[in-house]
Structure 1
Amino acid sequence: MESSPEAPKPTAKEIAAKFRAQITDGTYGPGSQLPAARGLAKELGVQLMTVQSAYGKLRDEGLALSQQGRGTFVRDPAVPLGTQSGSSPAFTALASELSVIHETLQKLDARLDRLERLVGHETPPSP
């Protein structure tokens, strides 16, 4: 995705689509570092914010992680969303909420098991 002076400059959406496709096809595998935003912006002839926005879209989709001072990396899909440093804040919050919900469901399941043992697995009358 190189840019010439007369070629239209890619949008953040187009840049994100290019990297999304390359992540999907394995060009960039889990843990791979995406090009430095500043260098890519210069190469493409776009503003730094355009590349940062594209990387932000990938992060929001759960495809990439950003680490301050290190860069943007392809997220390992085997690792639960929101648990890695550099995850999207939305995924981190969601992972935390899901953890609380999971714990609550486990407690309710245990209570239900105790109640069923106390009642002796009686089935309610049919309506």
Structure 2
Amino acid sequence: MDSSPDAPKPTAKDIAAKYRSEIAGGEREAGSRLPAARQLAKQLGVQLMTVQSAYNQLRDEGLVLTQQGRGTFVRDPSVPLGTEPGSSPAFTALSTELSSIHDALRLLGERLDRLEEIVGSETPHGQ
């Protein structure tokens, strides 16, 4: 992104696209910190809200984590979404919901196994 005074100012979408590309391309490793929002806004000549919006887009996509007072960091893709501090609230809620669904399916599987054992023991052999 060109930060010269005559260059058009990047939008939140532009900023998010730049970092999305860097993360996808491996230029930014898991755990690495993105520039401070204020610093980046000043450098690019945009409003702080523009950078915050870009970072929020990346957070909502599950690419970064925002930790109050610490900054914005590239998320480790091997860690389940919604389980880290600074995750998107939507991913946290989704993670909780998926966990309860997983538990329910496991219990149903165990019940089905028991029913199959019961039915199998009541059926005369050779039929």
Normalising to structure 1: TM-score of the pair?
0.93
The answer to which of 67-76 and 18-27 deviates more is 18-27
The answer to which of 72-81 and 3-12 deviates more is 3-12
Q: Which runs of 4+ in 1 moved over 2 A?
A: none
Give secondary structure in 2 for the equivalent of 1:65. Answer: strand
User: Once superposed, what is the RMSD of the aligned Cα atoms?
Assistant: 1.1
**1:45-124 aligned within 5 A:** 45-120=45-120
Amino acid at match of 1:111: R
Native 8 Å contact 1:62 1:75 kept in 2? yes
Amino acid at match of 2:26: G
Q: What is the count of residue pairs matched by the alignment?
A: 122
What is residue 125 of structure 1 aligned with on the other side?
A: none
What is residue 42 of structure 2 aligned with on the other side?
A: 42
Q: Percent identity?
A: 71
Normalising to structure 2: TM-score of the pair?
0.93
Amino acid at match of 2:19: F
**Shift of residue 2, structure 1, vs aligned partner:** 3.7
**Cα distance between partner residues in 1 of 2:5 and 2:20:** 25
**Cα distance between partner residues in 1 of 2:33 and 2:4:** 25
Stretches of structure 2 that go unaligned for 5 or more consecutive residues are none
Stretches of structure 1 that go unaligned for 5 or more consecutive residues are 123-127
Native 8 Å contact 1:2 1:43 kept in 2? no
